[in-house]
Amino acid sequence: MPYYFYAISVFLSAFLLFQIQPMIGKFLLPWFGGTPTVWSTILLFSQVLLTAGYAYAYWLLGRMRKLLQGSVHLILLGISLLVLLVTAVAWPSPLTPDASWRPQGDASPIWGILRVLLISIGIPFLLLAANSTLMQAWFHRDFRTPTPYRLYALSNTGSLLALLTYPIIFEPNFSLQTQAYLWTFAYLAFAIIAAYLAVRTYRWRQRDEMRESTEEQTAEATKPKVGLILLWIGLAACASVLLISMTSQITQEVAVVPFLWVVPLAVYLLTFILAFSGGYLYSRRVYLVAFFVVAIGSRMLLNIPFASIVAQVFVFMLLLFISCMLCHNELYRLRPDARYLPTFYLMVAVGGAVGGIFVTLIAALIFSTGFWELQWGLVACAILMAIVLQMERDETKRKRPRKSRRRGKQKRDLILKPVVIVLAALVLLLSGYVIFYMRSISTETEMATRNFYGVLRVWALNEEQPELRAYQLTHGKTAHGFQFEGDDLSALPTAYFTPTSGVGLTILNHPNRPDALRVGGLGLGIGIIGGYGVADDVFRFYEVNPDVIRIAEGEGDYFSFLADSEADIEVVLGDARVSLEDELLRGGSNDFDLLVIDTFSGDTIPLHLLTQEAFEIYLSHLNEGGIIAINISNRLFDLARIIYRVADEFDLDAARIEDRGDGIQSYDSEWMLLTHNEAFLQLPAIDGRSLQPPADPTSVRLWTDDFSNLFQILK
């Protein structure tokens, strides 16, 4: 029976470890602008805490006497339960801090996220991270025959199952607070099982000590060397870099879909499962060939405009799978004797943490104009494979007499194997391709900047037509708008904000005209709607990205909508909803005549701006007869469905206006207008452009801060 308790403990700890990550990520998104970098920071936290957990297991197993190991672990399990009890009383739920923990001012988002994570889940996460290594070591002492590495594969199976069930079962069907309590009860069950196994360590007898002493003397000859340990770290770090960088790539450059976060991590864990189950499906030659074919071809695919999002995501995941199969199977081949498995897992965790630190904290400083860590991660993967091949000794050479090996050792070490020479040539080819691509992007880009919120680029448009030359600001694949360079055209509203768009029609036909308007804007872009402002108007924008503000206000002399506006322009730095809520508490309503929400025009969906609680804040900032204009232009999601549901909840009249772009001044756009002023929507300029609502516009469940489900509105 104890055999099964070890398996249950390892599986449950892995499940809880990876169930908490998307759950806490969903909770934190609204506090930090809804940016996908929140997930990258959570991955960094996870890698670092995994390392700390393995280090704790390594210390406990290597430095503490057997009779004390169980006692120390029991104490920490008790502390973790006490922390969960305290947070359950002090917070809305054991894992979800109250609003007082939200970021304040211009504090670093990364450190703010890490602070909340450390307080809310730090100690339980540490013990869950340590559990797999600890239980494998105790299992090995209890049962000498079965290999403990099977438990490692079981651990990754639990992790994978957690990631797959969260977006399919838990997220759509349970509120965040309910999820937190379910997780806490499951953690309590885990703690009971872990405590039982800790108590079981008291049963070990002196004869076990004598047997292990003999095994230690035998195993001492095979103690891992520094070079091997560095290779463990390098392979694990490379896989971690590729995981986090590909996640950033598909969520910021291809399709920013929050539930896609779990897909790369699931692929990453699948390769761990396959590798540490025995590596039966692994062929180094096949995977190396596939690696270079897909690594080069994937970038070519992304340069083809008509490549679908599904195709792009598929290629990225295929490349991640191949790369991680190489790294993780080579790790499995280089695994040590079971006596050294705490050291092995600790070094693997250190590598994962190094990769996470590089991508999250260092890469932004090195690669300031793009997410180039993905490309160089692929190059590093190829280099590591070359090192593995060069270090590997043929069995025939191992059987040579020792004296002969000694004479030829230095000579053989200096000779590169033919396969390594071929691999080195391919590495140079891949490196050249990356450098060429980086230079081509740099040449085509007028300006680029990178921060926590992503990469912003300014591009020149219509260079072959000087009279229509313009500059456009993009964030990944999301266009924030453009401005014509010529003086005769520079004042024209463009992109989604032309006079024929929903917001353009609203401003030009607002019932309060010709009097002054108070306009609020969630999302600044390049400030195009500020161009509609006239004397005495007030346009107040809320923008979370400081780089966007600097560019819109004129840095680089590319855009001048704000500078040229006759209105009084105000810009507030910070998450729009948090800022609006704070303003309500401090000074009351802004009494906006119009509130423009332009945060959904790309594929990124800041869910916290579409909840019932969010619209309560918006309506509190509108004056009587005020209007909310929402840009719902989106390739992936039918946002109109959730907006109609909101309108029904608050008894608002709604109009949906679609505008087909002309390819010169305007893009295709879709806006929804919400108001209690039914007469405004009946104006010919508005009513004549409004689409018929769907037959059942309120069929979806209303989103709240505690519940949202993107699957409901997939196109």
Q: Are 5 and 148 in contact (CB under 8 A)?
A: no
- What was the pLDDT predicted at 141? 76
pLDDT digits (tens, 9 = 90+) for 219-236: 454 688 899 999 999 999
Q: Give me 676's structure tokens.
A: 């209690």
Res. 378: pLDDT tops 50: yes
**pLDDT band, residue 144 (cuts 50/70/90):** low
Is pLDDT at 30 greater than 80 in this prediction?
A: no
Question: Among the listed ranges 242-251, 468-477, 525-534, 599-608, which one has the minimum average pLDDT value?
Answer: 599-608
Output 347 or 137, whichever has higher pLDDT: 347
**Ramachandran category for residue 307: left, alpha or beta (phi over 0 → left; psi -120 to 50 → alpha):** beta
Tokens 């020479």 found at: 421
CA distance 345 to 129: 11
Mean pLDDT of the chain: 85
Q: Give me the amino acid identity at 85.
A: L
pLDDT at 675: 96
One of 3.30.390.10, 3.40.50.150, 3.90.950.20, 3.20.20.100 is the CATH number of 476-713, namely 3.40.50.150
Q: Which of 39-48, 126-135, 273-282, 296-305 is the least confident region?
A: 296-305
Residue 337: its pLDDT value, please? 79
Beta-sheet strand order (sheet of 478-484):
445-451, 454-461, 470-475, 478-484
Interior angle at CA 442, CA 438 and CA 444, nearest 5: 120
Model pLDDT, residue 398: 44
How wide is the angle at C-alpha 326 spanned by C-alphas 325 and 331, nearest 5°? Answer: 95
Please state, in angstroms and rounded to a whole number, the distance separating the CA atoms of residues 314 and 269: 17
Beta carbons within 8 Å of 675's beta carbon, 6+ residues apart: 625, 626, 627, 628, 652, 653, 681
> With 90 as the cut, is the pLDDT of residue 76 above it?
yes
Assigned token pair, 596:
């423009």
Q: Report pLDDT for 29.
A: 78
CA 549 to chain centre: 24
d(CA 515, CA 530): 16
Q: pLDDT band at 476, cuts 50/70/90?
A: confident
Q: What is the pLDDT of residues 173-219, one digit of tens each?
A: 888 889 999 999 999 999 999 999 898 887 755 445 545 544 444 44
- Percent of the chain having pLDDT more than 90? 45
Output 62 or 632, whichever has higher pLDDT: 632
Answer yes or no: are the C-beta atoms of 698 and 639 closer than 8 Å: no
Top-confidence residue, 104 or 392: 392
pLDDT on residue 107: 65
Three-state DSSP class for 481?
strand
Q: Are the CB atoms for 127 and 53 separated by under 8 Å?
A: yes
Q: What is the pLDDT of residue 239?
A: 95
d(CA 205, CA 208): 6
Give pLDDT tens digits for 674-691: 999 999 999 999 999 999
Q: List pLDDT tens digits, range 40-56.
A: 888 889 989 988 998 99
The DSSP bridge pattern shows strands 669-675 and 538-543 to be unpaired
Per-residue pLDDT tens over the stretch 614-627: 999 999 999 999 99
Distance CA 42, CA 24 (A): 9
Per the CB < 8 A criterion, the answer to whether 355 and 237 are in contact is yes
What pLDDT digit, counting tens, does each position of 435-453 carry? 887 888 888 889 999 888 8
Give the mean model confidence (pLDDT) for residues 130-158.
Answer: 75
Q: What is the pLDDT of residue 346?
A: 85
**435 versus 508: which is more confidently predicted?**
508
User: Please, are residues 114 and 41 in contact by the beta-carbon 8 Å criterion?
Assistant: yes
Tell me the pairing of strands 568-573 and 592-597.
unpaired
Which distant-in-sequence residues (6+ apart) come within 8 Å of 280 by Cβ? 274
Q: Are 519 and 592 in contact (CB under 8 A)?
A: yes
What counts of helices (H) and strands (E) characterise the chain? 26, 11
In Å, how far from its chain's centre is CA 300?
24
Name the pLDDT band for 305 (thresholds 50, 70, 90).
very low
Mean pLDDT of 244-264: 73
Percent of the chain with pLDDT over 70: 88
Looking at per-residue confidence, does 163 or 507 come out higher? 507
With residue 461 as reference, give the H or E element that holds it: strand 454-461
- Shortest CA distance to 101 belongs to which of 114, 82, 88, 85? 114
Q: pLDDT tens digits, residue range 9-28?
A: 999 999 999 999 889 988 88
Residue 137 in this model has a pLDDT that exceeds 90:
no
One-letter-per-residue 3-state SS of 407-459: HHHHHHHHCCCHHHHHHHHHHHHHHHHHHHHHHHHHHHEEEEEEECCEEEEEE
CB neighbourhood size of 37 (10 A):
21
The pair phi, psi for residue 671, each rounded to 5°, is -125, 150
- Cα separation, 35 vs 544, in Å, equals 10
User: Rg of the Cα trace of the chain?
Assistant: 29
| Bridge partners, 448 (sequence order) | 457
In the predicted model, is pLDDT for residue 413 greater than 60?
A: no
Structure tokens at 647: 């309108």
With a cut of 80, say whether residue 396 has pLDDT above it: no
Strands 592-597 and 518-522: parallel
Q: Which of 28-42, 93-107, 283-297, 697-711 has the highest mean pLDDT?
A: 283-297
pLDDT for the residue numbered 308: 64
